[in-house]
Structure 1
Amino acid sequence: MAVEAKLKASNRELKALPVSPARTRAKKTNTNGVVDLVVVPTMTASKPANRMDSELLEIDTIIEEVSHAIATNDDQYKCIMFTDLESSTEYKREMGHSKGYMRNRLFCDICENAVKKHKGHVVKRLGDGVMVVFENAIDAVLASLLIKRSIAANRKKLKKLVGPMNYRIGITCGYVKQIPGRNKDYIGHAMDKGSRIQTNALRNQVLIDEIVYGLIHTKIRDYSGDIVIGKPKNMTLKGVGVSTLYEVSPKNLGLESSIFTRMKKVFH
C-alpha cells in the first residue's frame, strides 16, 4: 500500500510542456516517464527559388541608342560582295566540328586575302563566308575571280585536306548605311540584294547584277584576254524582285553555266 501511494503522488507531480505540435519532435524518453520536447527552428527563405527577378531592361535607353546610331550616319555608295561555302552544316555533321571549322576557316582566309589584295574591306565573317564592301565594282569582280582561280588551282590539295571546297559568290552595288559600334555593320537594300544574288548562284559561280555590269563592262575590256562574261539572265530574287544577272569567270576556267564546263568537271 505504501508503494502504491508513492506512485500516485509521483503521477500528480508530472507536468507536460506547452509547446506547439507542429514545431516539436520527441528527443528522448526519460526512465521516469517524462518526455523531453525540443523546439525545431523554422527555416524561411528570403525569396522563393522559383520567382523571377522583377527588374526590367531599360528599353527606352536601348531605343535611343539604336535610333541615334541610324540617324547620325549618311548613306554611302558601295559595292557589296557575299561569299558562301557550300554544305558546311552537312559537312560538320559528317566530319565533326573541328574539321568543319578548319574548312570554314580556310575558305574565309582565302576570301579575306583576295579582298585585301583588291582594296576591299571585310565587314564580317558569316560563319562559312564573308560580307565585303568595295569602293569600286571592278575591284570586287577581280577579288572574286582571284578567289575562284586560287581554289581551282589548289583543288586537289584542298580536297585531300578538308574535302570538296565549293562555294557561291554574289556581287551588287548600291547605297548602304554604316552602323557604328564595336563591330561595324552595313544595312540597306543593296546588302539584301547581294545576299540573294549569292544564294541564286550555281556551285562555284560568281554572279553580278545589271548595276555591276553597267559599271564594269567597258573596264572589263582591259581584261578581255582573261575574263569572260556570260549572257544576261533574268531571275526573281526572293524579297527583292526581278534582276538581270551575269556570270563572270576567268577565261581559262570557263563559265559554270556552260554545259562544256560542267561536263569537264564530271569527268575530271
Structure 2
Amino acid sequence: MSTDHFTLFQEALRSTDRPTKVILFADLAGSTEMKGRSGEVGWLPTIGKFLDITTEATTKHGGEVVKYLGDGTLAAFDGENAAEAICSAIHIQEELREVNSQGVVNDCLATVGIATGRVVEYKAPGGGIDYVGSVVDLAARLCSAAAPQAIWVDSATVASANMNKVSSKMGRVHDYSPDDYLSEEWRVELKGFTKPVKYREVIWHGKPFGATNALVDEISERTTAQTNHQTPPRPDVREGVVRKWDPEQGRGFISTLSDGDYYLDRRHVVGGEDLIEGRSVRFVPRPPFKDGGRPVASCAIQEGQHVRATFQRVLAHKGYGFVDIRDALGNQQSLFLYLGDDAAGHRPGDVVTVEASRNHRGISARIADELQTTGGVDDAR
C-alpha cells in the first residue's frame, strides 16, 4: 500500500509531537565540473569514496544515514547529540583531506551544513524513515552556501551542542578550547528563508573556509547597491614567508604553499618597513599589475612587526576584538586581538599599537603599547 503523503504531512503540521533531530547534509563540492572533465571511470570511484566516508563518520558518531542524494548524504542524529553531529562533520572533512593527500582521490572536497529542530518524520516508500521540514531545508541551504571544506552550523545547533565533546586533529595538537572550534556568529540570506539565518563555521583546521564564491559575489553586489552604511565583506587574506627582500629597491617576494609567489613592494607593507627574509607574513592578495605577471601582496604585516591599528569591533563578553590595519595605498585587513578582562575598556574607533604575533589561528595581534586616543582608520596609519 502506497504512502498517502498529502494526509501524512497535513497531520504532521497539526501535530505537537514532532521529534527534534540534528540534520547533517554533506555534499561533494564541484561534482558537476568533475563529471564534465572525465568519464564515469574517473568520477564514480570518487563519489563512492565520498559516500563511504560520510557513512562511516555518521555511524561512528551515533547518527544514521537517512538517504543518499546522488553525490550528497543526508544524516540524522538525536536532538541531544548536536556535538556528535559536529564531530561527524569534522571526521568527514579530515578523512577527505587525508585521502586527497594520499592520492586515493583527486579534488574530492565536501561542504557540510548542520541544523537542529523539530522535523516531520515518516516512513518512506522503501520502508526506511525519512525527514522533511524547514530544518532539513536549512541544513541543505547551509551546505550549499559554504565553501569547499567548510562546516556551517545554525544557531540552534550551537546552543544545544556540548562543545567540550568536539575535537579535531589540529585542535588536539594546538590544545583548542571549546570556543576555538567556532567562528564568530554571522548572518546569511538563504533561498526559501524570509529572514537572514544566523550561523557559525566550525574551525576544524586552523581557519574558516568561508562561503562559496557565488555567495561572496552576491553579497558584494548587494552591499554595493545598498544606500545604508553596512559593513562590507572583509577581504580575503593569505599567509606566506618572505622568500626574498631587497631593502634598496624596497621590493621582494612572498612564497605561499597554496598558490606560489606574490610580488610585494614597500608601499604595500603596513608602516612601510623592510621585511626580513624567512619571516611569516599575512597579506591581502591582489591581481597582477600586468597580464602574465605575479599576483601582488598588499597590506602585508610580518610576524613581530609593531603597527598602529584601529578597533573595528569589540566583543567584551568574549574577551576579544578585531582591529583594522592599512598600507600606504589604503588596502586594509583585520586582525584578531585577544583582550581578556581588558576588553570592556575598548571601543570601536580606539587606536592602539599592536604587535603581529602567531597563535594556532595564524598571525593575529596583541597590544604592544596602548594609546588612549580615538579616531578613524586614517589615524592608524
Q: Same fold (TM over 0.5)?
A: yes
- For normalisation by structure 2, the TM-score amounts to 0.49
| Length, aligned pairs only | 202
Which of residues 244, 248, 251 is equivalent to 2:202?
A: 248
CA 1:264–1:215 in structure 2 vs 1: closer, same or farther (change >3 Å)?
A: farther
What TM-score, normalized to structure 1? 0.67
Q: Which residue does the alignment assign to 2:18?
A: 75
How much is the aligned-residue C-alpha RMSD, in angstroms? 2.6
User: How far apart are residue 75 of structure 1 and its match?
Assistant: 1.5
Q: Is the 8 A contact 1:120 1:140 kept in 2?
A: yes
Give the aligned residue type for 1:214. Answer: A
User: What residue in structure 2 maps to residue 107 of structure 1?
Assistant: 50
Q: Could you say if the C-alpha distance between residues 177 and 87 of structure 1 is closer, same or farther in structure 2, counting changes exceeding 3 Å?
A: same
Distance 1:261 1:88 in 2: 29
Matched, 1:191 2:145: no
- Which structure ranks higher in relative contact order (CA pairs < 8 Å, sequence separation ≥ 6)? 1
Structure that is richer in strand per residue: 2
Structure 2: which amino acid aligns with 1:138? A
Q: Aligned partners of 1:112 and 1:266: how far apart in 2?
A: 33
| 5+ residue gaps, structure 1 | 1-60
Query: Does residue 1:266 correspond to 2:211, yes or no?
Result: no
Match of 1:230 in 2: 183
Pick closer, same or farther for the CA change 1:244–1:178 going to 2, 3 Å. same
2:163 corresponds, among 211, 220, 236, to: 220
Distance 2:94 2:60 in 1: 14
- Shift in CA distance, 152/253, structure 1 to aligned 2, threshold 3 Å: farther
Secondary structure of the structure 2 residue equivalent to 1:230:
coil
Superimposed CA distance per residue, residues 71-119 of structure 1 (whole angstroms, 9 cap, x where no aligned partner): 3785110000101101212212221123221111111110110000000
**Are 1:82 and 1:170, in contact at CA under 8 Å, matched by a contact in 2?**
yes
Name 2:314's counterpart in structure 1: none
Q: Work out the CA distance in 2 between the residues paired with 1:133 and 1:260.
A: 36
Structure with max Cα Rg: 1
Amino acid at match of 1:234: R
**What residue number does 2:60 align with?**
117
Higher helix share: 1
Q: Give % identity.
A: 23
Point out where structure 2 has 5 or more consecutive residues left out of the alignment: 211-235, 241-255, 262-381
143-152 vs 72-81, greater mean Cα deviation = 72-81
Corresponding position of 1:137: 82
Q: Deviation at 1:191? A: 0.7
Question: Are the counterparts in 2 of residues 255 and 261 from structure 1 also a CA contact under 8 Å?
Answer: no
Q: Is the 8 A contact 1:228 1:254 kept in 2?
A: no
Q: Deviations over 1:144-179 (max 9, x none)?
A: 01111122233222xx34321111100010111112
Compared with structure 1, are the counterparts of its residues 119 and 165 closer, same or farther at alpha carbon in structure 2 (3 Å cutoff)?
same
Please give the alpha-carbon distance, in whole angstroms, between the structure 1 residues aligned to 2:198 and 2:258.
27
Residue number among 116, 123, 126 corresponding to 1:180 in the alignment = 123
Judge conservation of contact 1:69–1:180 (CA < 8 Å) in 2.
no
Is the CA contact 1:83–1:167 (under 8 Å) kept in the aligned structure 2? yes
